[in-house]
Structure 1
Amino acid sequence: MAKVFEGVRVVDFTQVISGPYASYQLALQGADVIKLEHHQGGDQGRAMMAGGPDFLDAGQSSLFMAFNSNKRSLGLDLKHPGARDVVRRLVESADVVVENFKAGTLARMGFGYDTISEWKPNIVYCSISGFGATGPLAGKAAYDPVIQAHSGMMTLTGFPENGPTKVGFWVTDVAAGIHAAYAISSALFARERTGQGRRIDLSMLDAAIGFISPMVLHYLNCGIEPQLAGNGSAASSNAPTVYPTATNMIQIATATQAQYEKMCDVLERPDLKTDPRFAERLTRMDNGPALFEELSRTFATRPAKEWEKKLEAVGVPAGVVNTVPEMLRDEQVIHRHVVQTVDPPVGLAKSMAMINAAFHLNEGSPSVVSPPPHVGQHTDQVLGEVGFSSADIAKLREDRVVG
């Protein structure tokens, strides 16, 4: 059965993470994503997290590969006057345009929404930027750490003694990418009913604030400002939640009083149910360090997996803190086919592992089917599809418009 977005063409002006992540979600579901990148160097992400000289020579990196499988690459110098005709023909054949330059940058190059929508009136045009297309910070450059800081997210992460801490991956980039893919999907659905395209103005800052909305609302509606809680949680029934064992660390998520008491029973520590410091949720939060010390001594007596089984048997959510290699050996991860192997990308000699979509459909499930492209790997193919002759393409190459 055909995948959901088969027949949908996406002209992708994006780089690094937020935009590539968005278009990758569409590519996983069958969209024909044409990645436009400069023919000398390409997407900046190609040089980030490169696995060695062979990866750099091939223009591939772990970061780039994570978000660019199933796409085709067209090498194009957007600043060259000859690029205008190339982009126009691509847009006329497309359903979606997505970009993540600083707000206003692509418009100054001549490829803003007003121009693109003249070429293709029912286009879905998605702009992802750090702070959005309007407001006093529109046009300000932003990477994920800047947005984590500006949004207040960093003040929710870390231990009080160490201060605000950045989340260990590009969470606001991914948040923006998820929202962009959803917005594009919604706009395509609306176009089926109305025939009209949409302009999408997506802010990484807005997406980040949406991700932490419970903490924001707790302050707005209750006047309670979030505080650093280490591995604790404002919604948990006890303050600390991660403990050392005889093997790995273990994460305990006792969200209710009943779960806390069941945990105490499993640990054979009934005293922790009656001790006035720990008997109730608020007192546990007030005495977090003391509770952590008590529980750590007990958890350290057995392996993490043993504790996990005992706790889950009585309905207490618990999980071993895995390393990445341990996670990849996990039976559930293997069963779900999270990892997919694809053919070697151009310039590399071995097959590459990729991560599949996070959901399955009963038919036409999203999947990785092709490796991330080399810079300009599909230039001639795509140009031919939009009406350029072999002679036209040769001239574009000679003039360094494409590569």
Structure 2
Amino acid sequence: MNARLPLEGITVLDLSHLAAGPWCTMVLADLGADVIKIERPDTGDMSRQAGNIYAGDQSAVFLSLNRNKRSIALDLKQTKGKEIFFRLAETADVVVENLRPGKAAQLGVDRASLAERNPGLIYASISAFGTSGPYVDLAGNDPIVQALSGAMAITGEENGPPSRQGVSVPDFGAGMMAGYAILAALVGRQRDGQGAEINLNLLDVSVFALGPRAQEYLIDGEDQPRLGSAHPQFSPYQAFPCSDGRYVYIAVINDKFWRLLCSALEQPDLADDPRYARNVGRVEHRKELAGRLSSLMSRRPSQEWLETLQNAGVPCAPVNSLSEAMSDPQVLHNGLLATMHHPTLGEMRTVGLPMTFDGERPAIRNAPPLLGEHTREILDAAGVSDADARRLVDSGAAAMGLEPALASTHRPTSRHEGAS
């Protein structure tokens, strides 16, 4: 982009690890903020060694969450490391952390410790369950929150066991909500000059993300069953198998689309059947209707049905695999997939930011950093002399550029060795 990015000039100190916090700060970085990732000198962000899919010595998890950031390796348990963090915090706009509740205060990097140095600082904390209450001392992560929130109970096949959602909705939802809150606090600071302390947790976000499902329960007090790909409030609204073994998802959200579907299927008797004329009846008779439609859909291959239904104006889509989604013509047309240059892996494909500004999508300026890759330049910008920087490294309070050796030591066996 030739124009300035929206968050250029904003400095974010990123004390977060794994998913929710890094997802939040990556979007802020994509939007132009200077995100300085504060990592432990010995291991760095634990996502550097997460999972079993690697490009070279780089974890796919870390690569997906940390582009456009700079990394400084600091030991905040050491006084000298903490002093450097304080120096950075004096001029920063935002701090983001997702440490266990109480850990930031224990380290002396909580909002109360920083506000005296920088009253305008916006401090965002992300936790699993909150900063107090019966679960505050329990270990929590994304699937634990999916289970607690009710989301897992309504996910899975009918009469089957509960299922984990295929993507980490609590983590990424919390990261996005934190981003909303931070941007709102930045706007508020422009108005009154005051910083803010933001607290949110994965459990609250996940219950909030239930959306209509939560409101429906609060109205009628009834738990909702697992329905596989179907919807509790609309029918037909699910995936149907075709003769080629592929699935087509049909989403009939109102009676107009129902009539269009019946016409495309050449089934006037279904359109005229009083049991199915209105959505409430179709939901009541969901099983028998789904059986009839499944029988019809199984007679032809998916592509024939897609052409027929799409030409008729029926909302439908193939159930794409990941490989099909990444090569989907609309995804490619939108330009969502991008290329970044990694210092050790070279050119890599990745998924870009899903928004444009004045018709342009923010570019990926830098690949996810090596551990401590930017320690020296950040120290230099903070006014730390070469001699003092060397003393910091010698004492173990800071480290520079450790990633390749670290990865070869800690990396699990990978089933994917090359950059994609």
**Alignment partner, residue 64 of structure 1:** 62
1:176–1:202 Cα contact (<8 Å) kept = yes
2:94–2:122 Cα contact (<8 Å) kept = yes
Q: Deviations over 1:317-366 (max 9, x none)?
A: 1111111111122221111111111112x333x31112111111106642
State the Cα distance separating 1:297 from its structure 2 match.
Answer: 2.1
What is the rounded CA distance, in whole Å, between the counterparts of 1:174 and 1:152 in structure 2?
Answer: 17
What is the rounded CA distance, in whole Å, between the counterparts of 1:123 and 1:139 in structure 2?
Answer: 27
**Alignment partner, residue 374 of structure 1:** 370
Identical residues among aligned pairs (%): 35
**Alignment partner, residue 310 of structure 2:** 312
**Alignment partner, residue 257 of structure 1:** 255
**Alignment partner, residue 14 of structure 1:** 16
Q: 2:109 aligns with which of 84, 108, 111?
A: 111
State the Cα distance separating 1:278 from its structure 2 match.
Answer: 4.0
User: Which amino acid in 1 is paired with 2:372?
Assistant: G
For residue 98 of structure 1, give the secondary structure of its aligned residue in structure 2.
Answer: strand
What is the rounded CA distance, in whole Å, between the counterparts of 1:387 and 1:212 in structure 2?
Answer: 48
Q: Deviations over 1:153-190 (max 9, x none)?
A: 11121123212211011110000000000100110111
1:144–1:170 Cα contact (<8 Å) kept = yes
Q: Deviations over 1:101-153 (max 9, x none)?
A: 11111111111110011121110000000112233323432100011011111
For residue 71 of structure 2, give the secondary structure of its aligned residue in structure 1.
Answer: strand
Q: 1:332 aligns with which of 330, 333, 337?
A: 330
For residue 82 of structure 1, give the secondary structure of its aligned residue in structure 2.
Answer: helix
User: Which amino acid in 2 is paired with 1:11?
Assistant: L
For residue 233 of structure 2, give the secondary structure of its aligned residue in structure 1.
Answer: coil
What is the rounded CA distance, in whole Å, between the counterparts of 1:372 and 1:50 in structure 2?
Answer: 18
1:384 and 2:380 equivalent?
A: yes
2:337–2:352 Cα contact (<8 Å) kept = yes
State the Cα distance separating 1:280 from its structure 2 match.
Answer: 4.1
**Alignment partner, residue 347 of structure 2:** 351
Runs of 4+ in 1 over 6 A off after TM superposition: none
**Alignment partner, residue 243 of structure 2:** 246
1:29–1:365 Cα contact (<8 Å) kept = no
1:354–1:368 Cα contact (<8 Å) kept = no
For residue 79 of structure 2, give the secondary structure of its aligned residue in structure 1.
Answer: coil
1:362 and 2:364 equivalent?
A: no
What TM-score, normalized by structure 2, do the two folds share?
Answer: 0.90
For residue 185 of structure 1, give the secondary structure of its aligned residue in structure 2.
Answer: helix
What is the rounded CA distance, in whole Å, between the counterparts of 2:115 and 2:156 in structure 1?
Answer: 45
State the Cα distance separating 1:275 from its structure 2 match.
Answer: 4.4
> How many positions carry a matched residue from both structures?
396
1:36–1:73 Cα contact (<8 Å) kept = yes
Taking structure 1 as reference, are residues 50 and 390 closer, same or farther at Cα in structure 2, changes over 3 Å only? Answer: farther
What is the rounded CA distance, in whole Å, between the counterparts of 1:328 and 1:150 in structure 2?
Answer: 32
2:235–2:286 Cα contact (<8 Å) kept = no
1:144 and 2:142 equivalent?
A: yes
More displaced 10-residue stretch of structure 1: 76-85 or 202-211: 76-85
**Alignment partner, residue 214 of structure 2:** 216
User: Which amino acid in 2 is paired with 1:354?
Assistant: T
**Alignment partner, residue 193 of structure 1:** 191
2:234–2:253 Cα contact (<8 Å) kept = yes
For residue 351 of structure 1, give the secondary structure of its aligned residue in structure 2.
Answer: strand
What is the rounded CA distance, in whole Å, between the counterparts of 2:330 and 2:289 in structure 1?
Answer: 32
**Alignment partner, residue 395 of structure 1:** 391
**Alignment partner, residue 172 of structure 2:** 174
Q: Deviations over 1:209-251 (max 9, x none)?
A: 111021111111233332212111123133x510111342111
Query: Map of 1:73-92 to 2, 5 A cutoff?
Result: 73-92=71-90
For residue 145 of structure 2, give the secondary structure of its aligned residue in structure 1.
Answer: helix
1:93–1:386 Cα contact (<8 Å) kept = no
More displaced 10-residue stretch of structure 1: 300-309 or 389-398: 300-309
What is the rounded CA distance, in whole Å, between the counterparts of 1:367 and 1:297 in structure 2?
Answer: 47
More displaced 10-residue stretch of structure 1: 242-251 or 114-123: 242-251
**Alignment partner, residue 29 of structure 1:** 31
State the Cα distance separating 1:277 from its structure 2 match.
Answer: 5.3
